[in-house]
Structure 1
Amino acid sequence: MRIRNEDVLLPVSAVSAFPRPHWLQGRILGCGDEPTYRSHNLRVAYEDACKITALEQERAGLHVLCDGAQYYEWEAPGFQLEPIFHFIPENLGGITNYGPPGDGAKYAPFYKGQVISKVEWKRPIFESVNYAMKNATDRPFKIAMLGPAQQSIILDDQYYGDGVALAKDIARALNKELRYLQDLGLEAVQLIDVLPPYTTDMWQIECQQILFEGVDMMKFWHVCYGSVDGQRDIFDDHATEMMPLFRESPVDVVHLEFTNKDFAELDAFGEFPTDKVLGVGVVDAKNTMVESVEQIADRIRRALKVVPADRLLVAPDCGLGYFSRTTAYAKLRHMGQAADEVRRAL
């Protein structure tokens, strides 16, 4: 994989989430017409937390860091849903910060923002995240965000009457965000999507093409099988059906969960597009047991039987935000050591 104009064999990265220090609590960033930070003390604490998560990733030998989503309330039950439902919409024009309950018992506690007018980019969303990470590390890092297709289906559309049109306007708004971040020096972005296992309609890729127009940075796509409260949403295999999406996507890296599914879908990736890097989950993000270096190395070697080392990225299955800091960073360190062991043997 090409990183900062150098070819890196078996690069290592994480998905997005790490547990927060116990002294960082509550919502950090404002939304709508609020100030960027909800208090100066929160800003200082948040930026310190970013320094910790960056340092831990550096120590583990990661090549592309992530921001660890330290602005999310990981310590609160259902944390993943509240920011996923609200963080981006509450900072876009045309969407209210109130609405009806989500669909089904799992999502009912989290309201859907209502789309009441044309969705537009209103203010920088991740500028503070980019600033905090640039001050925390000299290594390349990525900022994660929910993809526009995924975001569109968890909103209450009272304006468009057309889900695809809504998704494309979200993509146009977030394209402005990415161009803004690119001008600030951001080197990588990661989309998070749960939608592809449910539908392989190609309008999702049309949204990605709009999103990434004029955006020249590393593009990661995490296709998530669900991890809310440590539980998976997707139990059956969909890799074969998703392969056309992967072929047409403008991203550089497609990342999926493999370990928790015991590599059940691995053979399907013999058809994985040769112009992309496959991110293979080799650390279980739903099991608190810390895998040994040799266990993880064996998983990497297993993946190498299907995808060559120059097109393989090593990563956890999903975010590690649900774990204690001790467990999360131990998993990360062992993953980095395992990748180094396999790399040296190639």
Structure 2
Amino acid sequence: MMEIRGEEVLLPTSAVSAFPRPHWLQGRVFGSREEPYYRSHNLRITYEDAVALCAHEQERAGLDVLTDGAQYYEWEAPGFQLEPIFHFIPEMLGGITPYGPPGDGVKYAPFYKGIVHDRVTWKRSIFEGVVYAMKAATDKPFKVAMLGPAQQSVILDDQHYGSGVELAFDIARALNQELRFLVSQGLEAVQLIDVLPPYFQDGWQIEAQNIMFDGVDAIKFWHVCYGSVDGQRDVFDDKAAEMMPLFGQSPVDVIHLEFTSKGLGELSAFAKFPTNKVLGMGVVDAKNVMVDTVDDIAARIRKGLEFIPADRLLIAPDCGLGYFSRTVAYAKLRNMGRAVKQVRASL
């Protein structure tokens, strides 16, 4: 059974990462590597207030591990929410210069690549402000989510390493320093966000995870993302069975995937899910503006229990809920919490 702060929790619950921001929080909150950490004092206060509201909503829903809701991301710019994914971490690391060539393909062309011109190093904390804001907002355990080293390595313009794998490993070393620092500041959980495994099942991705998580004393989540920008899916084929060997080799504690929007058909592959891992099951549709009913969510959870026992199943939405209105996002979350209570009572 999953332990949270030393206590065993049956059917633990968490959100994935993102929630919509209040309308009064606009623009980029944190500066890049050469700027002040906050763009302004007013932005800092506004951001910390938004984080407090986000944490409160998750507490109302009964979540066991909270998220900061990625309130520093500019969710209010439709179609351009990928911008911080491309820039937020690279612009804080040494060895990377922003404003490189456009991304590859039509979808990514609006987002410039960072140029890797030297060895990638950790310079200063990337998520320190997130941990500070969450500690002030809640007494419950919380996680910080970040794009992982494998994914970061393929969206950069490498002009130094000549090897995407070596680039990924140095990004992992930099993020390891970041995570060790954040844990020293009170972080209890971390979530790796990754879209590569459905496309490539190469073992170096796990080597990068081992480097990133070495010596990091926190609950480790791995969200395998099927794509969600403006409700658009990137992965249509069933890839769970092909990813299963990676899941078994990964050093993480929880592996989370989308199930509801894509359909529950892939659940059967998880009869072979590694027994030393917790499966994070997406039971709330992150691509449909209709609010999932409590009964529908409960039925999805019970379907998951046919393949994974309750002591190894974590309940979450399919993906982040940052693209919805606040009304819809938090209604979905509260219904998920009610459904979990319903199913727990029947076990």
TM over 0.5: yes
Matched, 1:206 2:204: no
Instruction: Give the letter for the 2:27 counterpart.
Output: G
Contact 1:72 1:79 in 2 (8 A): no
Instruction: Give the letter for the 1:343 counterpart.
Output: R
Partner Cα separation in structure 2 for residue 224 and residue 142 of structure 1: 17
CA RMSD after TM alignment: 0.5
Partner of 1:184: 185
Identity rate, percent: 75
Partner of 1:122: 123
Which segments of structure 1 move beyond 3 Å, counting only runs of 4 or more?
none
Partner Cα separation in structure 2 for residue 79 and residue 49 of structure 1: 21
Deviation at 1:77, TM superposition (A): 2.1
Deviation at 1:237, TM superposition (A): 0.5
Matched ranges for 1:44-55 at <5 A: 44-55=45-56
Partner Cα separation in structure 1 for residue 64 and residue 255 of structure 2: 16
Partner of 1:300: 301
Deviation at 1:53, TM superposition (A): 0.3
Deviation at 1:141, TM superposition (A): 0.2
Instruction: Give the letter for the 1:114 counterpart.
Output: I
Partner of 1:83: 84
The CA deviation string for residues 252-301 of structure 1, in whole angstroms up to 9 with x for no partner, is 00000000011121000000000000000000000000011011000000
Deviation at 1:161, TM superposition (A): 0.2
Deviation at 1:212, TM superposition (A): 0.5
Partner of 1:92: 93
SS of residue paired to 1:135: helix
Structure 1 segments unaligned to the other structure (5+ residues): none
Partner Cα separation in structure 2 for residue 329 and residue 43 of structure 1: 23
Partner of 1:284: 285
Matched, 1:226 2:227: yes
Partner of 2:259: 258
The CA deviation string for residues 216-260 of structure 1, in whole angstroms up to 9 with x for no partner, is 100000000001111000000100000000000000000000000
Partner Cα separation in structure 2 for residue 77 and residue 290 of structure 1: 21
Instruction: Give the letter for the 1:338 counterpart.
Output: A
Contact 1:148 1:168 in 2 (8 A): yes
SS of residue paired to 1:109: coil
Instruction: Give the letter for the 1:224 counterpart.
Output: C
Partner of 1:163: 164
Tell me the number of residue pairs that the alignment of Structure 1 and Structure 2 aligns. Answer: 346
Deviation at 1:152, TM superposition (A): 0.3
Partner Cα separation in structure 2 for residue 183 and residue 148 of structure 1: 21
Partner of 1:110: 111
Partner Cα separation in structure 2 for residue 37 and residue 230 of structure 1: 30
Partner Cα separation in structure 2 for residue 309 and residue 154 of structure 1: 37
Partner Cα separation in structure 1 for residue 289 and residue 6 of structure 2: 37
Partner of 2:174: 173
